[in-house]
Chains A and B, each alone.
Chain A
Amino acid sequence: MSKAKNSGKMLNATNKLKNEMGRHFLAIEQAHRDGKPTAWATAGTPVELLYTMDVQPMLPENSATISAALKKSQNFIELAEDEGFSYDLCSYFKTNVGAVLSQADMSVGGTRKPTFMLSSDVICDTHVNWFQVQAERLNVPHFTIDIPHVVSNTTNRQRNYFKKYIKEQLWELLDFITELTGNEYDPEKGKEIALNSYNLGKVWQDVFELRKNIPCPVSTRDTFGGLFPLFTMPGLKSPIRLYKRMYKEAKERVDNGIGALEQEDYRLAFMGIPFWYNLRFFSNLERWNATIVYETYVYAFSKYTNPNITKEMVINNPVESMAELVLSFWYIYDLKTRFEKLKETVKDWKIDGIIMHDNLSCRPNACGMYDLKRKLMEEADIPSLVITSDMNDPRKMNETQVLNQIESFIEILRKNKKQ
């Protein structure tokens, strides 16, 4: 194994993320002080509608990642396990249970008690179960959005009534919020928030477009580190400015032929949620001059990836557009679509191989991964590797084993390059 090199160069703009996070946490504190409504929301729910309804969102799974990054998640997880929650349940969920139990500060992954909770099964059932557990423990109302499960043989005819079902639930959500808070839906504000969210997603996609260049100007630590606003602040202006700064800096690198990595030999894609307690792990790739140029998880939350949903549609019909968008992003893709999308991605981003994270905490994401790997390798000749670990529970990561797997994988890529 070659020695580790210095870490890939991060963008200066990414460092400003702390300011954005600070702004978000201040907004939560301010809302609490002023008695304004707040809501917990799970990833994949239309956070934009919360902003439109003057409800301050909080995303406990993002808070859980902060706990992990600060090496606090294991302690919180074990507290939840003491409460009877199984070792096999989601580590984000257990981090949140432990953080609430220990009244942790927001700076270490704690959250405030919300006015209500908003979940959805678009990504997993866990989101629904998690908020059900916490809504009961904290005694707050809970609204969930049921997203029909899209499979490889779902027809367009079915998609039409799926969309109708989601749209009706979104209007039901707005009624629920009005009833609870007295805040009414303002169509003009809805348009403004939708436009900001659209712009945020699009600038993020522009940053990803730049990553198609060789060498790749943006490291995975920029993208994993920078995605926080996509979850928590879609609809606000300030994160757009941050992403534009990231874009500008990355563009300068492209124009000057500068990569995030000094020597870029292997371009990789990463599928799944990273190990938040050990993001430095990705620096290990630099031992082999390998860099991650695309992360499905990070790209997914740029949201506006469906070409049928235009800017005008998003602005003019924010609720209806949201119903369509929620049915067309990475996390809901069926196996067949995931395969096709990955093939396109590999071609467009000039990727040499894919690392897939079989995340012990995220069964829906891991289910189908073996078949996907097999199809990519056998039908598209794309080298793929499945590694097993956990996103927030450091007890479930065997770093040496994973590193050995990656080293062998890089060796395969090296041989492929020689041929």
Chain B
Amino acid sequence: MIKIAYFDASIETPEEIILAANMIPIRLFGNPTIGIDKANEHVPPNHCVWARNILQQAIEGFNDDIKGVITTHGCDCTNREFDIWLECIDLEFIYFLNAPLKRTEIALKFFIDDIKELITQLEEKFNVNITSEKISKAIKKMNKIRDLLRKISEYRVKMILKGSEFHYLAKGVQQMEKNKALEMLEAKLEELKTQNPHIDNKLKKVLLTGSVIDDTEFIRFLEKLGFHIIIDDLCIGTKYFWSNVDESEDPITALAKYHLNKPLYSTKFPSFERFTTLKKLAEKYNINGVINIAQKFCEPVLYSHPYFSKKFKELEIPYLFVEMEYNRESYKQLATRFEAFAEII
């Protein structure tokens, strides 16, 4: 089957459209173990490290079965990189999906128009027919996946599932064929049901937020330093399965509404509303503290940090903000800061 990759700094790409085209959606993630010298020939070194990392992978070439890429509107860096992708990579299909900045009725109409355009271009390029019935079927499948992920996520709260295990699972779902993902998640849920709490209760329970945190090794690193990621609001985590798509509505409208009704990302407006979500999560999960990670040069997160810092201080919730490079060597250099935070909370 043809694979269509998507590059999304938030998570607003309607995978169902790709599934309805009888293709496999594959989310692109960074790889902190590679060098990014080729990307640096195209993008200045003070630009988002994560976006440059993915550009590097694109220049080096994806697997042969990936025939196209959808870049979904994120931040200035990911958006502006698109034209460089057009210059550098040789794929049959490359589309920029303009997921709107705002959350209004007008923005919803616009997003529907752009999803329809995506459908038209996929149909024209690959000679496929993406019908409403096929999209509805894909929505049902994805809703099952979201249901399962939500259930499994709660095993973090029950102290049965490590944050890193969940992260690995959620990331895997976004990169694998969805029937296989369903099977894997169903098996995992059954396995978890049989287990008793075993995660050390002394670990500090934290809410993880920030940029695209897609390296599971980083979550493991935090666990070693004494944290348990009990909940997150990451686009690779809870935002991927926050709620379900309405199965009773016109499928394209329902998909657009689903993506625009989820809690906001740091890349969208008004991003300060994210605090409301974080506050709710902090209260619901009775966390010990919040860790906010900015990948180096991640402007959206950098702009909101002082506001979050002020608001969490008002709530007397411990808050740690860390800006870091996208490579594993840099994690170690930050160990002291994380350890100190674990001590404080």
Residue of B nearest to A388 (CB): B44
Is A88 in contact with B297, judged by CB distance below 8 angstroms? yes
The size class of the interface chain A forms with chain B is 35 or more
Query: By the criterion CB–CB under 8 Å, are A89 and B303 in contact?
Result: yes
Contacting B100 at CB < 8 Å: which of A85, A124, A146?
Answer: A146
* Chain B hits for A142, CB < 8 A: 270
A27 is an interface residue with CB less than 8 A from chain B: no
Look across to chain B and name the residue whose beta carbon is closest to the beta carbon of A169. Answer: B106
Q: Which residue from chain A places its CB closest to the CB of B302 in the assembled complex? A: A86
Q: Is A280 an interface residue (CB 8 A)?
A: no
Are the C-beta atoms of A371 and B87 separated by less than 8 Å? yes
Q: Which single residue of chain B is at the shortest CB-CB distance from A119?
A: B269
Task: Find residues 265-307 in chain B having any chain A CB closer than 8 Å to their own CB.
Answer: 267, 269-272, 297, 299-300, 302-307
| Closest chain B residue, CB of each to CB of A168 | B106
Q: For the complex, is B191 an interface residue (Cβ under 8 Å from A)?
A: no
Query: Considering the chains assembled together, what is the distance between the CA atoms of A169 and B94 in angstroms?
Result: 28
Whole-angstrom CA separation of A364 from B95 in the bound complex: 19
**A155 CA to B305 CA in the complex, in Å?**
37
Of all chain A residues, the one with the shortest Cβ separation from B95 is: A153
The answer to whether B113 has its CB under 8 Å from any CB of chain A is: yes
Is there an interface contact between A133 and B303, defined as CB atoms closer than 8 Å? yes
CA distance A86 to B82 in the complex (A): 26
Within 8 A of B (CB), among A198-250: none
Chain B nearest CB, measured from A147 CB (Å): 8
- Whether the Cβ atoms of B309 and A84 lie closer than 8 Å is yes
CB within 8 A of B110: which of A124, A161, A335? A161
With A146-B101, A364-B76 given, is the CB distance from A370 to B43 under 8 Å? yes
Does A154 sit at the interface, judged by CB under 8 A? Answer: yes
Q: Name which residue of chain B comes closest to A97, CB basis.
A: B306
Q: Is the CB of A368 within 8 A of B80?
A: yes
Residue ID in chain B nearest A83 by CB atoms: B306
CB neighbors of A among B208-232 (8 A): none
CB distance from A390 to the nearest CB of B (A): 10
Residues in A neighbouring B86, C-beta threshold 8 A: 151-153, 335-336
Q: How does the 8 Å CB contact mask read for A346-386 relative to B, with 1 for contact and 0 for none?
A: 00000000000010100110111111000100000000000
Instruction: Establish whether residues A335 and B269, one from each chain, have CB atoms under 8 Å apart when the complex forms.
Output: no
**Interface residues on chain B, number (Cβ under 8 Å):** 49
Q: Is A149 interfacial (CB 8 A cutoff)? A: yes
Out of B43, B73, B299, name the residue touching A129 (CB < 8 Å). Answer: B299
The answer to whether A148 touches B117 (Cβ under 8 A) is: no
Q: Is B77 an interface residue, CB under 8 A from the partner?
A: yes
Is B323 at the interface (CB under 8 A from chain A)?
A: yes
Q: Given the complex, which residues of A lie within 8 Å of B4, measured CB to CB?
A: none
Q: Are A367 and B267 neighbours in the complex by a CB distance under 8 Å?
A: no
> What's the least CB distance linking A140 to chain B, in Å?
13
Question: How distant is the Cα of A391 from the Cα of B79 in the complex, in angstroms?
Answer: 22
**Which residues of B are found within 8 Å of A368, using beta-carbon distances?**
80, 83-84
Known contacts A152-B86, A153-B94, A360-B46; A84 and B117 CB within 8 A of each other: no
Q: A335-B86, A360-B46 are in contact. Are A132 and B272 (CB under 8 A)?
A: yes
Q: Chain B residues in contact with chain A, CB under 8 A? A: 41-44, 46-47, 73, 75-77, 79-84, 86-87, 94-96, 98, 100-102, 104, 106-107, 109-110, 113-114, 117, 267, 269-272, 297, 299-300, 302-307, 309, 323
Q: Which residues of A contact B (CB under 8 A)?
A: 83-86, 88-89, 121, 124-126, 128-130, 132-133, 136, 142, 144, 146, 148-149, 151-155, 157-158, 161-162, 164-165, 168-169, 172, 334-336, 358, 360, 363-364, 366-371, 375, 388
Counting from the closest, the 6 A-B pairs by CB-CB distance are A367-B80, A335-B83, A84-B306, A129-B303, A146-B101, A165-B110
28 pairs, A vs B, C-beta closer than 8 Å: A84-B306, A86-B302, A86-B305, A88-B302, A89-B303, A121-B101, A126-B76, A128-B101, A128-B269, A132-B303, A133-B306, A146-B102, A148-B100, A149-B79, A161-B113, A161-B114, A161-B117, A164-B110, A165-B110, A168-B109, A335-B83, A335-B87, A363-B46, A367-B44, A370-B43, A371-B83, A375-B87, A388-B44
